[in-house]
Amino acid sequence: MKMNSRFPLVAELIAEFLGTFVLILLGTGVVAMVVLFPSQTPGEIIHGGYTNITLGWGLAVTMGIYIAGKISGAHLNPAVTLALAVFRGFSWRKVLPYSIAQTAGAFAAAALVYQNYLPAFRQVDPQLEKTAGVFTTFSLSHRVAGGISGPGDRYRLTLAPHFCYH
């Protein structure tokens, strides 16, 4: 994947920051909406549920790719950037800057979602002990004793689509 970049590195980093920002903003935003404002009726569309989360994350990924795709390739994830460097010839000198930009975009978006929904977080979970799932994913073994999932599962699932399409 040796690309002749038409854009300076700064433009690529801004694209990665903004693409990751939008991805996490929309993705965690829809999860926060569903978790913090649960429906009283199972299957009710107004308050959301599984369908809203999957559609929200799908649109979040799409929007992130639209924002960053033509400028940086829309890695939007340090694991993807590292994998592209290892297996597809992405420049090693760009791995750390891309990863920093992606992480900064993700943290900024998560902070904005948290700030936006803070009153609802405090109402639903005053000690902030049960709503971490809005911002993270836990492995099956974390939830079920003796589970089959390990810490690497998330990265394997994250990388799989990129090897199919790049």
Residue pLDDT, tens place only, 120-129? 999 988 888 8
| pLDDT mean over 82-96 | 95
Confidence of residue 9 (pLDDT cuts 50, 70, 90): very high
* Residue 164: inside a domain: no
* Residue 162: inside a domain: no
pLDDT higher at 73 or 159: 73
Between the CA of residue 142 and those of 34, 35, 127, 147, what are the distances in Å?
22, 19, 21, 8
Q: Residue 159 pLDDT > 80, yes or no?
A: no
Average pLDDT, the chain: 82
* Residue 145: inside a domain: no
Which phi and psi (to 5°) does residue 124 adopt?
-80, -40
* Residue 97: inside a domain: yes
In angstroms, rounded to a whole number, what is the distance separating the alpha carbons of residues 54 and 70? 25
Confidence of residue 78 (pLDDT cuts 50, 70, 90): very high
Q: How many domains does the chain have?
A: 1
Residue 56 belongs to domain with CATH number: 1.20.1080.10
* Residue 64: inside a domain: yes
* Residue 122: inside a domain: yes
Q: Residue 77 pLDDT > 60, yes or no?
A: yes
* Residue 33: inside a domain: yes
* Residue 112: inside a domain: yes
- Rank 3-12, 44-53, 65-74 by mean pLDDT and report only the highest: 65-74
Q: Residue 112 pLDDT > 50, yes or no?
A: yes
Structure token pair of residue 54: 């999957």
pLDDT in tens, 39-60: 676 656 556 677 888 999 999 9
In angstroms, rounded to a whole number, what is the distance separating the alpha carbons of residues 122 and 114? 11
Give which of 116, 111, 137 is closest to 37, Cα–Cα. Answer: 116
Task: Please give the residue range of the domain that contains residue 62.
Answer: 9-135
Q: Residue 38 pLDDT > 90, yes or no?
A: no
